[in-house]
């Protein structure tokens, strides 16, 4: 259900509040619920007929009987200390500037929630209380509180969410390096810097697209003013990218004129002077 909500194309806030009950309070509540459902198995007419004819009617409300059995099973779990019980409130909050847009979002969320077998209630008179109850730490607002076990809550609480990445590159003072499209409706913003460190390791099998990714990073890095890009590659994987950016491509070792170890001859005084100018030019 959460995955479907993430694909709706707009932001929302999911809140799950759980008010724990101690064992004695939970025992009282479950006993009351079991008694209510057990009493509902037979209506007034059925009870009168049984009293008059002194014969038990085989017809009962099967739904109420099943609910009574469920309550009894919950009491057994509580007695064995397998689970705890409390009141849960799950809310989804959407917002927009225009009322019509809010209504469209509400209908979309309601359609997804009900499609998964849950009951979605669109708040009207209880809207303010429901919103207050969605604020962390607010334990009293919103009267919609269902009694469930801690095992049920574990299935209701979102344990993960779509991470869209930071909105800005704080170190470079600019936008993210890349904004990409995902399978859902949430874009992904790639920022390789953590603090002032931008080290990145790309690992993958041969032909998986590592060179394409690195070339894309090179292209996107030009968005930062004053950026300078130096690439050492094997197999000329970024040659087309460099030439497309009007850069200089050097084939090291191809003809012997350009090679690694440019400071190999700095024992010579004239070579040291050249090396100093060359390093300063970097």
Residues 127 and 191 in one domain: no
Question: Residue 216 has what pLDDT?
Answer: 92
Number of domains in the chain: 2
Question: Residue 212 has what pLDDT?
Answer: 92
Q: In 3D, which of 86, 110, 99 has the Cα closest to residue 19? A: 86
97, 121, 156 — which closes off a domain? 156
Q: Looking at the domain assignment, is residue 163 inside a domain?
A: no
Residues 93 and 214 in one domain: no
* Full pLDDT tens readout for the chain, 282 residues: 777 887 788 888 989 999 999 999 999 999 999 988 888 877 776 666 767 777 777 677 788 888 888 999 999 999 898 899 999 998 999 999 999 999 999 999 999 999 988 888 898 888 899 999 888 888 888 888 889 999 988 888 887 777 888 999 999 989 999 998 887 777 899 999 999 998 999 999 988 888 999 999 999 999 999 888 888 888 888 889 889 888 888 887 666 666 677 788 888 888 889 889 988 887
Residues 91 and 186 in one domain: no
Residues 132 and 183 in one domain: no
3-class SS string, 139-202:
CCCCCCCEEEEHHHHHHHCCCCCCCCCCCCECCCCECCCEEECCCCCCCEEECCCECCECCCCC
Residues 150 and 190 in one domain: no
Question: Residue 265 has what pLDDT?
Answer: 84
Q: Looking at the domain assignment, is residue 24 inside a domain?
A: yes
Cα separation, 233 vs 181, whole angstroms? 27
Question: Residue 84 has what pLDDT?
Answer: 92
Residues 150 and 236 in one domain: no
Residues 10 and 132 in one domain: yes
99, 124, 156 — which closes off a domain? 156
Q: Please give the DSSP secondary-structure letter assigned to residue 245.
A: T
Please give the residue range of the domain that contains residue 268. 178-281
Q: Looking at the domain assignment, is residue 70 inside a domain?
A: yes
Cα separation, 95 vs 53, whole angstroms? 61
Q: Looking at the domain assignment, is residue 78 inside a domain?
A: yes
How buried is residue 203: exposed, middle or buried, by Cβ count under 10 Å (0-12/13-18/19+)? Answer: exposed
How buried is residue 193: exposed, middle or buried, by Cβ count under 10 Å (0-12/13-18/19+)? Answer: middle
Q: Looking at the domain assignment, is residue 165 inside a domain?
A: no
């Amino acid at each position: 259900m959460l995955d479907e909500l993430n694909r709706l194309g707009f932001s929302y806030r999911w809140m799950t509040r759980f008010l724990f009950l101690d064992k004695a309070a939970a025992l009282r509540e479950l006993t009351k619920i079991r008694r209510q459902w057990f009493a509902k198995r037979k209506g007034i007419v059925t009870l009168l007929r049984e009293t008059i004819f002194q014969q038990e009617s085989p017809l009962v409300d099967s739904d109420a009987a099943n609910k009574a059995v469920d309550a009894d099973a919950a009491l057994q779990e509580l007695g064995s200390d397998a689970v705890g019980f409390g009141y849960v409130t799950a809310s989804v909050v959407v917002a927009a500037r225009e009322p019509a847009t809010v209504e469209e979002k509400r209908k979309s969320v309601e359609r997804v929630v009900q499609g998964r077998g849950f009951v979605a209630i669109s708040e009207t008179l209880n809207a303010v209380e429901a919103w207050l109850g969605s604020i962390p730490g607010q334990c009293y607002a919103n009267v919609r509180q269902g009694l469930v076990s801690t095992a049920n809550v574990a299935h209701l609480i979102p344990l993960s969410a779509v991470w869209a990445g930071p909105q800005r590159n704080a170190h470079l003072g600019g936008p993210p390096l890349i904004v990409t499209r995902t399978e859902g409706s949430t874009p992904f913003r790639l920022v390789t810097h953590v603090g002032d460190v931008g080290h990145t390791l790309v690992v993958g099998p041969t032909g998986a697209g590592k060179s394409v990714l690195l070339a894309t990073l090179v292209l996107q890095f030009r968005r930062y003013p004053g950026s300078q890009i130096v690439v050492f590659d094997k197999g000329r994987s970024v040659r087309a990218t460099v030439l497309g950016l009007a850069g200089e491509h050097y084939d090291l070792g191809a003809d012997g004129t350009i090679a690694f170890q440019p400071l190999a001859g700095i024992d010579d005084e004239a070579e040291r002077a050249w090396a100093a100018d060359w390093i300063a030019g970097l």
